[in-house]
Structures are given as C-alpha cells and as structure tokens.
Amino acid sequence: MKIGLISDVHANLEALDACLADIKTEKVKRIFFLGDAVGYGPDPNKCVELIHKKADVKLLGNHDAAAIGLLNTSYFNQYAQLSMGYTCQVLSEKNLSRMKRFQMEASFDMMKMVHSSPKEPTSWGYILDVEDAEENFKYFEQQVCVIGHSHRPLIVKKYKGNRCEAVAHDFVHIDDDYRYIINIGSVGQPRDGDPRASYMIYDTETNIMSIRRVEYDCEKTQQKMINANLPRFLVDRIAVGK
Ligand code: ZN
C-alpha cells in the first residue's frame, strides 16, 4: 500500500491540488496530513475542506493553532501575523470546528507523526539539521518520526548508538537496524530553494519513503495573494521557494 504524507499546505490551493493529482496517479490509498493547513496563503477555507475530506490523519500545526485561538501570534514574524489576520477574517465556522479536531500527534505502524518535533510538539521546536535531529531521537519510541514545520525536506538516519547522519538522497529504504527522522517538506511554501510543492510517499511493500516535488501554477496563487492584500514578501517567496 502507498501512503501520501503532506504538510504545511498554508492555504495554497493550487499547490495542494497539484499534489493531490500526483497522489492519484501514484495510486496512493491513504493520506496523512502533518499540520499547517492555513496561514500565509489566500485559500484557507478550500484547503481545510480538501484536507478534511481527503486525509485519514490530520495534525494541528502552529498556524492552525493560532487560527483556532490556541496560540498567541505575538511570537510570529510580522508577515505571519498579517496573514493570520486575513486567515481569521475569512475562515468559516465550519472549517474552524474541523480544525479544532486536528490532533497534536499520531502514529501508524512503526511511524510517529508530529508537526514540529517529538521533543517539543506543543512549543513548536524546529529540527533544522542533524544536530537538532540527534537530540530528538530519544523523544520517540517508534522507528521513524515524520515531521513538517521547517518547510525543508530532510532525511536523517541513526544506527544504534552512533551519531545520526543526513541521507544525501530524496528517498530512503527503511532498514530494520536504523531509526529515522524525516521532514517531508512543504506543499504550499517550500523554503529549500526549490519552489515546487513537496510531499512524501511511503510504500509499505518496498519500505521506501520518497520525497516528491510537484510543479504547480504559482502565478495563479500569487495573483490571489495580491488580490487578498497579503504581504508582498509572502507573494514573492513562493516563486523562489525561500
Ligand atoms: Zn508551516
């Protein structure tokens, strides 16, 4: 069976649609969503509706938490705060109540799922490199932990007591002797210099997890952002993936 893992959609409907189309051609049976349906982008309602309809697992991201009033936005940067103002203005009651049912973490087989980090799931800590990953391995029991939050794909593996190391490819075979932390990247606002939408497919038969990059109509999203008066910085960044 193939499982599609998506994260950090950030109200980018064109990117979400493109990933869902790719998921369909890959004959994916289940979809797990790792958080941040809203924030930054122009289409929070349609994205929450689609995620609600399509995803079997739905996690809460920090922007989702802010939108439902669980997180004060004072620690957000100015652009995140401005876009949260727009998000809260347009989100429907129905979608807010859907988001209130998003979970903090979930697990499936040997896989733990959390939006930010196993060490600090509710204070939204970041795992940006192998050092951060090393520290986090002791905070989950499962063989693999999949995350989002940084918007940068990263695969880290750890052999028993050795220090962990980054995998140089965008895919990995899950070996019994290793443990893994895998950041699946962002659907709606990638920040690794590649503007294409990022998500992951886990093939439970081959035991391979692979990051996929999908082109989408970024200019259409940008025009909607301009029409919604969202900050120019946010409009520009999705075209360069930074
Ligand atoms: Zn995010």
The predicted-structure confidence for 171-202, as pLDDT tens digits, reads as follows 999 999 999 999 999 999 999 999 999 999 99
Query: In angstroms, what is the span from residue 162 Cα to ligand 1's centroid?
Result: 31
Q: Could you give the percent of the chain with pLDDT greater than 90?
A: 98
Distance CA 109, CA 32 (A): 13
Cβ-contact 234, 40 below 8 angstroms? yes
Query: In angstroms, what is the span from residue 160 Cα to ligand 1's centroid?
Result: 31
Distance CA 19, CA 46 (A): 15
Q: Which amino acid is at 28?
A: V
- Summarised one tens digit per residue, pLDDT across range 104-121 is 999 999 999 999 999 999
Q: What mean pLDDT do residues 51-80 have?
A: 95
Query: In angstroms, what is the span from residue 177 Cα to ligand 1's centroid?
Result: 31
Q: Which residues of 26-42 are buried (b: 16+ CB within 10 A; e: fewer)?
A: eebebbbbbbbbbbbbb
Query: In angstroms, what is the span from residue 151 Cα to ligand 1's centroid?
Result: 6
What value, to the nearest 5°, has the Cα angle with vertex 18 and ends 81 and 172?
90
Query: In angstroms, what is the span from residue 180 Cα to ligand 1's centroid?
Result: 21
DSSP H helices in 2-152: 13-25, 44-54, 62-67, 78-90, 93-99, 130-136
Query: Which residues lie below 8 Å from residue 193, measured CB to CB, with a gap of 6+?
Result: 240, 241, 242
Q: What mean pLDDT do residues 95-103 have?
A: 98
Q: What is the pTM of this model?
A: 0.97
Domains of the chain listed by start with CATH number: 2-237 (3.60.21.10)
